[in-house]
Homo-oligomer: A and B are copies of this chain.
Amino acid sequence: MEQRLAPNTKLSEARLCETFGVGRMRVRRALLLLSSQGLIELQSNRGAYVACPDKSEANDVFAARMLIEPPLVRQLAQSSSDIDLTVLVDHIALEDAARIQNERTEIIRLSGEFHTKLAQASGNKFVFRMMRELVTRTSLIVGLFGSSQNASCPDDEHNNILKAIQTKNAELAEQLLISHLNHIQSGLDMESRQEPQDDLAAILGMD
């Protein structure tokens, strides 16, 4: 979610065990769950590797988001009276703060999380879960194909979307979100690729 583990990075069980101070069972359970979400790939007798989406999968993710997110935002704007949007307001404040302090991983994480919280605001558990999966997957893709500059969402677009929802302008909110997704996707360079990295350094920075 923070793009600290590059695609194709190997996640060896022993390494994870000692890194997190945990038995193999816990690690294997975690790996199984991650693989069920498509975030890692479990190769038989070969180990776990961070998923490496190709061009086609990247397109599928954005196509799926284009299918779900616009109707979601539209619906959110139409029924925003009985919905608590303070979470989103606070979240944008966090995004701004992280941008000012230039905390790269934090900015990336929060950028994705905005869309997740958008889904959460719908109050629908399943919509929330689906969006969370798509957003984490998007993080992987942006980390792979994104130019280093625009690894996050453009600055004010989140805020504009939220304002459109608050003023119940459903049509505008939907349009803003569509172009927002287009901006993210068009900022990708589908030819560039990143090479696998050693996991030790990245993970050890965690604790």
- Check if B29 sits within 8 Å of A64, measured CB to CB: no
| Interface residue tally on A, bucketed by range | 20 to 34
User: So how many copies of this chain end up in the complex?
Assistant: 2
- Check if B75 sits within 8 Å of A67, measured CB to CB: yes
Q: Which of A43-65 contact B (CB under 8 A)?
A: 57, 60-61, 63-64
Is A127 interfacial (CB-CB < 8 Å)? yes
Beta-carbon nearest neighbor of A63 in chain B:
B124
Instruction: Tell me, rounded to whole Å, the shortest Cβ–Cβ distance linking A37 to chain B.
Output: 8
Contact surface of A with B, Cβ cutoff 8 Å:
29, 32-33, 36-37, 57, 60-61, 63-64, 67-68, 71-72, 75, 123-127, 130, 133-134, 137
A-B CB proximity, top 9 nearest: A64-B126, A60-B124, A130-B130, A64-B127, A67-B71, A60-B125, A63-B124, A33-B36, A60-B126
